[in-house]
Copies of this chain bind each other. A is one copy, B any other.
Amino acid sequence: MLTTYKAKATKLPGGMQVETQSRNFKFLIDEPKSLGGTDVAMSPVEALLCALAGCQAIIAAAFAKAQGVSFEDFHVEIEGDINLAGFMGKADVRTGFQEIRYTMHFKTDEPREKMEKFVEFIERTCPIGDSLENKVKLVNAGLVIE
């Protein structure tokens, strides 16, 4: 059975600031001044990295007990490369991320081998990771002119 998640993005007046919302939760996105924005919030590509690393952290928290792993602290450092010439229309290269790398940090007394297996579990369970590694069908469901 499919669960359908919904969200909305609204361009704010002037500039590039965009308010995004899902259910009753919101966050703002913008671009740095170097790309024409006002730099009051992170950019969409940074938000994507946050969604992926955040998803890995939630999986770690949610499944630790079931996977027989315990840890005190956990964080993920993540980075990804984009060739902005693609986005700018200055080169025929992809506009999106070419590679995303992450390092998971656990504070734990568990043996390393056990934590390596837990990292593999997180990787294969993460919905955002699967969405990025295995393609998602994007569908233009309509254009509304008001």
Interface residues, chain A, with chain B CB atoms under 8 Å away: 1-11, 15-16, 18, 20-23, 25, 27, 29-31, 35-37, 41-58, 60-62, 73-87, 89, 94-108, 110, 112, 115-116, 119, 123-146
B61-A15 in contact (CB<8A): yes
A132 touches B127 (CB 8 A): no
Cα distance, A51 to B9, chains bound together (Å): 9
How far does the alpha carbon of A78 sit from the alpha carbon of B73 in the complex, in Å?
Answer: 34
Q: Which residues does chain B contribute within 8 Å of A106, judged by CB atoms?
A: 143-146
Min C-beta distance of A115 to chain B, whole Å: 6
**Contacting pair A78 B9 (CB below 8 A):** yes
User: Are B132 and A131 closer than 8 Å at their CB atoms?
Assistant: yes
Contacts of A61 in B (CB 8 A): 11, 15-16, 18
CB pair A3–B53 under 8 Å, yes or no, is no
Q: A108 to B104, alpha carbons, bound, how many Å?
A: 47
Q: Is the CB of B81 within 8 A of A8?
A: no
Contact status B143-A103, CB under 8 Å: yes
Q: Is A132 a contact partner of B138 (Cβ separation < 8 A)? A: yes
List, sorted by A's number, 8 A–B pairs whose CB atoms are closer than 8 Å: A7-B46, A10-B74, A11-B57, A18-B54, A22-B49, A48-B51, A95-B125, A104-B140
Cβ A58 vs Cβ B146 within 8 A: no
